[in-house]
Structure 1
Amino acid sequence: MKSIEHYMELTAGIKCESEGEAEEISVSEIADILYCTPRNAKLILAKLEGLQWIAWKRGRGRGNKSEIRFLKEPCELLLETAKNDTKEGKIDRARHLLEAYQHSCPDALPSYKEWLERVFGFQTESEGSKQKDVLRLMTAMEPEHFKRLDPCRIYLRSESHVVKQVCDTLIRFNEKEGGFMPHLAHHWECDADQKTWTFYLRKGIYFHDGTTLTAEDVKYSFERFMLDDENKCKWLAEDIGNVAVRDEYSFDICLKAKNSLFLHHLCDERLSILNRHQNDGLLIGTGPFRLVRRDDRILALEAHERYFQGRAFLDRIELWYMDGNFSLVDYGFYMEKEEQSQVFDEWHEERNVQYISVNANKSGPLKHKAFRKALRQIISPSHMVSELAGQRTAPAGGFLNRDLPPESGDDDIGKLLMEGHYKGDPLRLYTFSEPDHREDASWIQKRCSQLISSERPNVALS
C-alpha cells in the first residue's frame, strides 16, 4: 500500500467525532485496521507523521492508549495525491486511486476531471510575479524517444517535430514557392561543376548555452553526422567529401560528385547544426526553443530568448508521456460516449493510415500484378482490425481514398499465386520498432504462413 492508501484506511477505520480532534487508540488496533503487524503499524505511523499528515502521541506506560490526530482532510489529500501522480506522468495510478475511493470521496473524481481539462492545452500560468504562456500536451511518444532526440538518430515524425523546435538547418525549403530560403546561412554559391558549395553564416546567432554559431560548429555537425555508425540516414551526406572552414563565418562543402538534390538534403532536420561543445545526453541547438527537461515522464521546452528570427510567443511547451498508452478519448476518462463520438467526427482528419509499399522494379514475384493482388487478399485489413483491435479502428480501402470499400475477398488466392509465377520465394517485411508495428508484422507473417502455405506447401516465409 502507498501512504495515501494507509491514510484513507485509517481515517475510514477511526471515526473522529470532530475534525482535527485527537482519538485514543492502541497500536494493535491500528494494526488490525491496516491488516498488518504492530511492528509494521509503527513504521507506517512514523512515515505518516513524517509527511505531517498525522500527529501521533505515544501512550506512556502499560495499558495507556496512544493518541492520533488527522491533519489532512482525506478527500482533499486524495485529490492532491492524484494530481501529483498525474504531474509525474502516472495517470493510470491516479485514475485507479480515485476509482478505489469513489464511494467514500464521490466529489474527488469530478474535481479531478475538471482539473485535468484545465491542465492540458494552452494555459497562462503564474510564476512569481510573471505570467507564462504554456502549451501542455499528452503524447504516446515513449520515454526512450525522449532520450533519443538526436538529429542523427531520429526517424519518427514526432521526434522530427521536436528536433525542428530545438535545432536549425543551414537553409530551408519554401513549399509554396518551390525554392530555397536562407536560414542559418544567409547566402550560398557554387562553382561551375556544382561540386564545391560555399556558404556564408549569419552573424550573431546564439546557441542555447550562450555561445555563438561559427563555421567550426557546422564542420563538427557534418562530421558527426557522417561518422555516426548508428545513423540510418547517412545517405543524405554520402556525396560530401569534406567541409573546409574558410573563416569564422564561411565554409566550403566539397562534394565527391555533382548531386542535384544536395540543397534539398541540407533542408532535412537530420542535418541540423549543433554546438561543437555538445555533451552526450544534451541537445544544444540554435532553435526557437531550448530543451530543459527530458526524463521518463516529461519533455519540456522553453523559449530561446535570443533566437535570431524573433522570440517564440509561447514560453514553455510540455509533452507528458502517459503510461498505459493513455488517451483522453480512448480511455473515455472524462468524456461521455456522446462527446467521444463528436470528437472523433471533428478529428477524423487526424487518423493515420498504415500501409505496405513494395518494390515492383526488383525482379521477383512482386513485379507481377496478380501476385500483388493475392498479397492484398491475404493481408486483409478487415481481418487485421478485427483480430488485433487496439487503436486500429477501421480498414482502409487505399492510402488516399481511405473510405473506399476494402478488399472484396472474391478472388482465388491459389489461382492468383499461379498467375503471378510465385514459386515459394521468401518475402521479407521491414517495419518500425514500435510495439504496434511489430504486432502488425507478426500478424502478417502468420497470415501469410497460413494462407500461402495452404495454397503452396513447403513455402518458407521470413
Structure 2
Amino acid sequence: MDISEHYIQLRLKLKHVHDDQELYITIGELADYLCCTMRNMNLIMNKFQEHGWARWSPQRGRGKKSILVFCKPVAEVAAERFDQLLHANRMEEAYEMSSSLPPQLRERLLHNLQLQFGLRSIEGVAGRTDTLRIPQSTPFQTFDPTQTAMWGEGFIITEVFDRLVHYNAERQQCEPSLAIAWESDQEGREWTFYLNKGVQFHHGRVMEAADVKFTFDRIVTDPDNPCKTMFGSIQHVELIDNLTVRFVLHKPNFMLPDLLSSLCASIVPWDVQMESLRPIGTGPYRIMHHDATLLVMEVFPTYFRGRAYIDRVEFWQLPQADLTESLVKKRLFSDGELRSVEHEIQGGVFMTFNMQKEGPHHDLYFRQAVRLLLDSDQLVESMDNPYMEKADRLIRIRAREQQNVIPSEEAVTGQTGSDKSGLVQAATLLERSAYQGQPLRVWVEEGKQMEADMAWFAKRCESVGLNIAVVTGDPVHMVYHDELQPYEMIYTGEVFDEHVMRSLITMYTFGNTLFLLAMNDYWRGELAQACENIVMFQEPVLRMERLIQLEGRLIEEALILPVYAFKEVHAHDVSLRNYKISGYGLPDLRQLWIKRKTDAPNTETSYPVYIPLW
C-alpha cells in the first residue's frame, strides 16, 4: 500500500480529529487502526513526517501516549494520490481508493477525473500534440472486422481500416476508397476492382491485390465466420494483376459494392496474423497500445487520403459502468461555450424471442400477446423522455425514398390502434396460446432507460398473468460468450449506420447480431434466402421495397417487436471544428480539427467534448 493510502486510511479512522489538533495516542492504538505491527507503524509515521503531512512526538514506555498532529488535509493527499494513479493509467486502483472515501470527498475526486476527458492541446519541443480522450465502460473484445458486433468496436475499426468502397451518406452512393474504380458485367456476376497505388499498411508494406483476395478468402472458406452468409454470393476472388482483382459470384449481386463498403469488408494484410485487439490496417489511425485500462490510437502520418488532424486518441476504461456518462457530462460545459449536436440513431429498440430455445414463445398467439403488452405508444408516453420516439418499424428512410415503398401501419403491424392498452386482447391471446403459467426470463441490455422499459413491461405482464423475470446483462457477454440459452425473450436494440439498406442486410445475415443469434435454423435460412434474392435486384428502390416487406413479415410473425427510436446529443467546445457524426452515431475523426483559442496558454489547453460512446 502506498504511504498516501496509509495516511488517508488513518485520517478517516480518526476523522473526529481536526488538522493541527494534538492527539494523544499510543503506538499500539495506531497499529490497530492500520492493521500493522508497531515496528511498521513507526516506519509509517517517519514517512508522514518526511512528507510534511504530520508531526510525531513518540513517547517510550508501555502505556505512554505519543503526540500526533495531522498537518495536511486528507482531501489534498487523496487528490494527489488519485491524480497520480490516473496519470499512471491505474484506473482500477483509483476507483478502489475513491470508493473508500466519504461521498463529498469522492465527488471532488471524480470531478477531477471528468476534467481529464475531452481534447487536450499541448505545445512542446517537438511541436503541437492534440489528444482526444474518451471514457468508455465496456471492455473491447475484438477489432477483427469479421467478428465485431459492438458499435463502440466498430468506431475503432472505422479509423484503423479502410474498405474498397466508401459510402457517401449525403449523396447516397458508393464512392472510391482503396479501389479507385470498379465495373461489372451486365448480369452482376463478375465485378472487377482497380486498386489505388501506394496505399500503405501500418506495418509499412504497400497494399496489393493479394490482400483483397486474402481478406475475402478468410471469410468465404471458413464455415464458422459470422460474415459467410453476408458474402455468400462470392464464389471466388481472382488476381488479374497486382492492382486488379475480380469477384466471381454464384448469383447476381448488384449490391456487392455496397456490401464491400461495410466494416466487415475491411481489408487486412495477408502477411500478418490477425491480432484481434492489435490489428493492422491502412486507416488514418493505428493502435499503438492496448491493455485492460487504456487503448491508444496514434495518427498514421502516411495515410493515403492525407494525415488526420488529431494526433492521438485515448480510450480510458472506467470500471464502474454507471459513472461514464454522469462523470463526463456533468458540469462539463458549465464555464464554457458549447455546440450541441442532436443525432437521430438509425435503427431502434425492439423485443425479439429466443427461437433456439423451446417454450411457449414459439406459439404465434403468445408472441402477439407480448406485442400488445409492449405497447410502444403507452411506453413512450409513460417515460416522458424527449429523446424517445415511438416506432412501428426499424426502417426509417428519407422522404424522397418513400414513394411506393412504405406500407400502411396496419399492413406492417396488423393492428388498428383502436385499443391502445391492448390488455384485454393480450389476456385473450395468452389464454389461446401454449403458455401455462410457467416463469419466463427476459434478458435486457444494461442501461437505465431500457431497464426502466422492462420494469414497466413487467407490471403489464403481471396484470394479465404472464409470469416473467427480467435479467439485465452485458451485450458483449451475450454475443461473444454465448449466454443466450436461459432466456425466452430478448430486449435489445440495433444501431444502423448511414447505409440503412446495407445495415438491414447485415442484421439479417451477419452471424453475430443479437437478432440473428436468437433465430433458429429455419428463420436463419429464410432470412438468408430473402436477402440473396433482394441483392439480385438492380434498382435500389426495388431492394428497399423487398426489405420493407421482409421486415413486415417479421413483425407480422411477431419476431421483431419495434418499440421506439431514440436520439443522442453530442456536445463540444466551439473550438472543435467540422464535428460531423458518421456511422453508429460517432464523430468522424478523419474530419475533426481544432481552431486553437487565441488566448490559450502557450503550453497546454483543454477543449471539452461529450461523446456518448456506449
TM-score (norm 2): 0.55
1 CA distance for matches of 2:9 and 2:288?
Answer: 39
2 CA distance for matches of 1:111 and 1:440?
Answer: 29
Cα RMSD for the two superposed structures: 5.3
1 CA distance for matches of 2:433 and 2:371?
Answer: 18
- The counterpart of 2:129, out of the listed 132, 140, 144, is 132
1 CA distance for matches of 2:297 and 2:130?
Answer: 12
Deviations 1:162-209 (A, max 9, x none): 111110000112223333211101122223433222222111111111
- The counterpart of 1:413, out of the listed 425, 447, 451, is 425
Counterpart in 1 of 2:153? Answer: 159
1:273 Cα shift?
0.2
1:147 Cα shift?
3.3
* CA pair 226-96 structure 1, distance change in 2 beyond 3 A: same
* CA pair 347-96 structure 1, distance change in 2 beyond 3 A: farther
1:170 matched to 2:164? The reply is yes
1 CA distance for matches of 2:261 and 2:40?
Answer: 62
* CA pair 176-101 structure 1, distance change in 2 beyond 3 A: closer
Counterpart in 2 of 1:105? Answer: none
* CA pair 38-305 structure 1, distance change in 2 beyond 3 A: same
* CA pair 280-440 structure 1, distance change in 2 beyond 3 A: farther
1 CA distance for matches of 2:328 and 2:313?
Answer: 25
Q: Which amino acid aligns with 1:250?
A: T
Q: Which amino acid aligns with 1:160?
A: G
Q: Which amino acid aligns with 1:96?
A: S
Identity among equivalent positions (%) equals 24
* CA pair 24-227 structure 1, distance change in 2 beyond 3 A: farther
- The counterpart of 2:321, out of the listed 318, 322, 325, is 325
Counterpart in 2 of 1:399? Answer: 391
2 CA distance for matches of 1:198 and 1:424?
Answer: 53
Q: List runs of 5+ in structure 1 lacking aligned partners.
A: 103-107, 359-363
The alignment partner of 2:289 has SS state of strand
1:289-438 equivalences under 5 Å are 289-327=285-323, 330=326, 335=331, 353-356=348-351, 372=368, 374-379=369-374, 398-399=390-391, 408-409=420-421, 411-414=423-426, 417=429, 422-424=432-434, 434-436=445-447
1 CA distance for matches of 2:222 and 2:455?
Answer: 34
Bigger mean CA offset, 284-293 vs 220-229: 220-229
Deviations 1:342-383 (A, max 9, x none): x9x96775789522369xxxxx975x9x974x4333235699
Bigger mean CA offset, 155-164 vs 78-87: 78-87
TM-score (norm 1): 0.70
1:211 matched to 2:205? The reply is yes
Q: Which amino acid aligns with 1:378?
A: L
Counterpart in 1 of 2:244? Answer: 250
1:76 Cα shift?
3.9
Counterpart in 2 of 1:79? Answer: 79
Question: 2:145, 2:157 within 8 Å by CA — same for their partners in 1?
Answer: yes
Q: Which amino acid aligns with 1:271?
A: A
The alignment partner of 2:247 has SS state of strand
Q: Which amino acid aligns with 1:38?
A: M
* CA pair 320-199 structure 1, distance change in 2 beyond 3 A: same
Question: 1:171, 1:180 within 8 Å by CA — same for their partners in 2?
Answer: yes
Counterpart in 2 of 1:4? Answer: 4
Question: 1:293, 1:300 within 8 Å by CA — same for their partners in 2?
Answer: yes
* CA pair 313-204 structure 1, distance change in 2 beyond 3 A: same
2 CA distance for matches of 1:299 and 1:432?
Answer: 30
Deviations 1:374-397 (A, max 9, x none): 43332356998999x9xx968956
Higher strand share: 2
1:70 Cα shift?
10
2 CA distance for matches of 1:101 and 1:85?
Answer: 20
Counterpart in 2 of 1:185? Answer: 179
Question: 1:431, 1:441 within 8 Å by CA — same for their partners in 2?
Answer: no
* CA pair 430-30 structure 1, distance change in 2 beyond 3 A: closer
Counterpart in 2 of 1:88? Answer: 90
Question: 1:378, 1:447 within 8 Å by CA — same for their partners in 2?
Answer: no
Report which structure shows greater RCO (CA 8 Å, sep ≥6): 2
Question: 1:385, 1:395 within 8 Å by CA — same for their partners in 2?
Answer: no
The alignment partner of 1:217 has SS state of helix
Question: 1:431, 1:438 within 8 Å by CA — same for their partners in 2?
Answer: no
* CA pair 179-17 structure 1, distance change in 2 beyond 3 A: closer
* CA pair 200-72 structure 1, distance change in 2 beyond 3 A: farther
Counterpart in 1 of 2:142? Answer: 148
1 CA distance for matches of 2:390 and 2:103?
Answer: 45
The alignment partner of 1:245 has SS state of strand
Deviations 1:109-129 (A, max 9, x none): 65873x445421121024554
* CA pair 393-226 structure 1, distance change in 2 beyond 3 A: farther
The alignment partner of 2:429 has SS state of helix
2 CA distance for matches of 1:353 and 1:80?
Answer: 44
Question: 1:79, 1:112 within 8 Å by CA — same for their partners in 2?
Answer: no
1:312 Cα shift?
0.2
1:203-242 equivalences under 5 Å are 203-228=197-222, 230-242=224-236
Q: Which amino acid aligns with 2:425?
A: I
Q: Which amino acid aligns with 2:129?
A: K
The alignment partner of 1:412 has SS state of helix
Question: 1:432, 1:438 within 8 Å by CA — same for their partners in 2?
Answer: no
Question: 2:286, 2:297 within 8 Å by CA — same for their partners in 1?
Answer: yes
1:266 Cα shift?
0.6
